[in-house]
């Protein structure tokens, strides 16, 4: 009976239309560099006040799901990640599109998003209260361990460039210290008296500066280069072949688990999930050398992981009243405006609301999938637009995106700094993904390290804690050393064989 009620709550024309509208708005915001989910949800917030609880959730969840996945389109077609979550999608998506397989790449991305989204929604439905309690067990020391392990793993996988990767992380972390310190909130660092720097550099500014604009500048240099004719099938619906899905099922499952877990941990978010699962897929693959050349599992891993964070981030929000990321923080506000308090009481006192929200997440993922696979045909044509038209338009979007963060011209000027940093790093063989991940995790790392010290007194007693944090910290140090030693041995063996 209850299930029928939920069905009729969601599957009515108003709700379905709102979900569709939300998915489309979210997709557009996700696709355009600089605009993102939190901005879309914040813009729509006043409209939701005029709606009832369930329709307002339909609209907002549609936007949330759409925005996470929208980034894949610009990442694959233009090598410009729409959001931090789709940074890793550029690594294989763009080469694949350049090889004339743009529609394939988009359909892989759409399917992986769908898979990750549904996977995490199932986890949310079945395990929310249990997982939420696990998330509580994650204290500052555990967060610190997780963040440092994530950084260390991503660097360790940069074969042949490990030292440079660690240097890139260090530069990223150093840049992240600009502004108000995340713990005492009074100490202001490296602002040189400029109050615009008090909040540090926004992640959107960093991504646009490091990825989007250098790519545009590079392309402007080659504006007369003859383009490879991309094949655009005249199909209406693009779904990966069953064989391809089967081959990548393992990667998608692994990445969805990583994405869901990272989503549950408040503050980590889609950016970290995408990069970590990409490197993890690369590490466990038999053909790790193919990654970065347009290899399918590269797209499947990142896109399933970043969408899986959505369900994960909803777990602590719905079960504890603690938002898992920026978007869920605003969503929590929207729910509170309706007179409903997300938290421990929600699933007990209003189980129908709790389950309806989860059901909306399912429907939104299905709508999102249908929307994406049916628009691939048009989206793929974006790369056929002559560059002299396309790149000015993208530049405009980048500028709008940066301005929309907080209406500040200062952010626009600071983007030049990141263009230079990105260019110098890239030209000298320093990998950019550790740099971005350092920017994503920098605050979490610092904040939790300092809190751990406050809790346990000093670093030594932190290390004596019997906790997963200590284990992760040890792994973060041992893994790179082991990787280097293993590589040396391999090299020596090869050398001996040659001799």
Interface ranges with another protein (CB under 8 A): 28, 32, 35, 39, 41-47, 49, 135-137, 139, 180, 182-186, 195, 198-199, 266, 316, 320-323, 329-334, 336-337, 339, 341, 343-345, 348, 381-382, 384-386, 389-390, 393, 396-397, 400, 404, 406-407, 447, 450-451, 454-455
Q: For 122-137, give the DSSP string.
A: HHHHHHHHHHHHHHHT
Cβ atoms of residues 269 and 325 within 8 Å: yes
Q: How far is the CB of 373 from another protein (least distance, A)?
A: 19
> CA-to-CA distance for 114 and 116, rounded, in angstroms?
6
> CA-to-CA distance for 223 and 358, rounded, in angstroms?
47
Cβ atoms of residues 120 and 263 within 8 Å: yes
Distance of CA 54 to the CA centre of its chain: 27
* Residue closer to another protein (CB basis): 35 or 85: 35
Phi, psi of 176 (to 5 degrees): -70, -20
* Residue closer to another protein (CB basis): 165 or 212: 212
Rounded to 5°, the CA angle 246-383-33 comes to: 85
* Residue closer to another protein (CB basis): 198 or 233: 198
* Residue closer to another protein (CB basis): 60 or 425: 60
List, in order, residues 6 or more apart from 11 with CB less than 8 Å away. Answer: 363
* Residue closer to another protein (CB basis): 32 or 97: 32
Q: How far is the CB of 181 from another protein (least distance, A)?
A: 9
Q: For 26-75, give the DSSP string.
A: HHHHHHSTT--HHHHHHHHHHHHTTS-HHHHHHHHHHHHHHHHHHHHHHH
> CA-to-CA distance for 278 and 75, rounded, in angstroms?
14
Q: How far is the CB of 67 from another protein (least distance, A)?
A: 13
15: closest CA among 47, 50, 62, 69? 62
Q: How far is the CB of 280 from another protein (least distance, A)?
A: 27
Burial of 494 (0-12, 13-18, 19+ CB in 10 A): exposed
Burial of 480 (0-12, 13-18, 19+ CB in 10 A): buried
Q: How far is the CB of 13 from another protein (least distance, A)?
A: 23
Q: How far is the CB of 456 from another protein (least distance, A)?
A: 10
State the DSSP code for 227. Answer: P
Helix runs in 222-350, H state only: 242-264, 269-284, 296-320, 326-337, 346-349
Q: How far is the CB of 51 from another protein (least distance, A)?
A: 14
* Residue closer to another protein (CB basis): 113 or 404: 404
* Residue closer to another protein (CB basis): 407 or 497: 407
* Residue closer to another protein (CB basis): 100 or 344: 344
Q: How far is the CB of 471 from another protein (least distance, A)?
A: 18
* Residue closer to another protein (CB basis): 240 or 401: 401
Q: How far is the CB of 184 from another protein (least distance, A)?
A: 5
Q: Please report the sign of the dihedral spanned by the C-alpha atoms of residue 94, residue 390, residue 376, residue 80.
A: positive
> CA-to-CA distance for 58 and 63, rounded, in angstroms?
9
List, in order, residues 6 or more apart from 378 with CB less than 8 Å away. Answer: none
State the DSSP code for 320. Answer: H
Q: How far is CA 79 from CA 189, 240, 364, in A?
A: 33, 21, 26
* Residue closer to another protein (CB basis): 153 or 319: 319
Phi, psi of 188 (to 5 degrees): -115, 125
Q: How far is the CB of 226 from another protein (least distance, A)?
A: 15
State the DSSP code for 461. Answer: H
- Based on DSSP, count helices (H) and strands (E) in the chain, helices before strands: 21, 2
* Residue closer to another protein (CB basis): 382 or 468: 382
Q: How far is the CB of 359 from another protein (least distance, A)?
A: 22
Q: How far is the CB of 220 from another protein (least distance, A)?
A: 17
* Residue closer to another protein (CB basis): 209 or 316: 316
Q: How far is the CB of 113 from another protein (least distance, A)?
A: 21
* Residue closer to another protein (CB basis): 384 or 493: 384
């Amino acid at each position: 009976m209850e299930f029928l009620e939920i069905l009729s709550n969601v599957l009515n024309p108003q709700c379905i239309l709102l979900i569709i509208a939300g998915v489309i708005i979210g997709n557009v915001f996700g696709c355009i560099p600089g605009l993102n989910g939190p901005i879309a949800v914040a813009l729509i917030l006043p409209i939701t006040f005029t709606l009832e609880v369930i329709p307002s959730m339909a609209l907002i969840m549609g936007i949330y799901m759409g925005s996470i996945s929208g980034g894949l389109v610009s990442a694959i077609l233009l090598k410009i990640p729409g959001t931090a979550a789709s940074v890793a999608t550029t690594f294989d998506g763009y080469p694949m599109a350049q090889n004339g397989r743009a529609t394939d790449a988009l359909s892989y991305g759409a399917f992986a998003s769908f898979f990750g989204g549904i996977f995490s929604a199932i986890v949310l439905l079945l395990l929310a209260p249990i997982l939420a309690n696990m998330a509580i067990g994650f204290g500052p020391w555990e967060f610190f361990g997780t963040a440092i392990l994530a950084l260390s793993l991503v660097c360790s996988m940069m074969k042949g460039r490990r030292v440079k990767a660690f240097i890139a992380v260090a530069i990223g972390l150093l840049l992240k210290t600009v502004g108000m310190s995340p713990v005492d909130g009074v100490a202001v660092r490296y602002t040189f008296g400029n109050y615009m720097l008090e909040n540090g550099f926004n992640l959107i500014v960093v991504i646009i500066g490091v990825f989007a604009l250098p790519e545009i500048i590079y392309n402007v240099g080659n504006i007369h280069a003859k383009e490879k004719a991309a094949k655009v099938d005249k199909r209406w619906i693009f779904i990966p072949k069953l064989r391809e899905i089967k081959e990548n099922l393992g990667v998608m499952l692994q990445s969805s688990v990583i994405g869901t877990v990272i989503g549950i941990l408040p503050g980590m978010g889609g950016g970290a999930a995408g990069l970590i699962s990409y490197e993890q897929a690369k590490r466990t693959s038999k053909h790790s050398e193919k990654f970065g050349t347009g290899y399918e599992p590269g797209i499947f891993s990142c896109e399933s992981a970043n969408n899986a964070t959505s369900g994960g981030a909803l777990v602590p929000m719905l079960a504890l009243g603690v938002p898992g990321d920026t978007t869920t923080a605003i969503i929590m506000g929207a729910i509170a405006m309706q007179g409903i308090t997300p938290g421990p009481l929600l699933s007990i006192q209003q189980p129908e609301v709790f389950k309806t929200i989860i059901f909306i997440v399912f429907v939104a993922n299905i709508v999102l999938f249908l929307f994406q696979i049916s628009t691939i045909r048009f989206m793929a044509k974006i790369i056929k637009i002559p560059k002299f038209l396309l790149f000015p338009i993208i530049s405009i979007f980048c500028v709008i995106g940066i301005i929309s963060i907080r209406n500040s011209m200062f952010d626009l000027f600071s983007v030049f700094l990141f263009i230079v940093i990105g260019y110098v790093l890239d030209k000298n063989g320093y990998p950019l993904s550790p740099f971005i991940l350092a920017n994503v995790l920098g605050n979490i790392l610092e904040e939790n390290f300092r809190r751990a010290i406050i809790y346990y007194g000093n670093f030594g007693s932190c290390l004596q804690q019997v906790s997963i944090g200590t284990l992760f910290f040890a792994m973060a140090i041992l893994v790179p050393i082991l990787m280097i030693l293993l590589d040396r041995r391999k090299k020596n063996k090869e050398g001996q064989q040659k001799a």
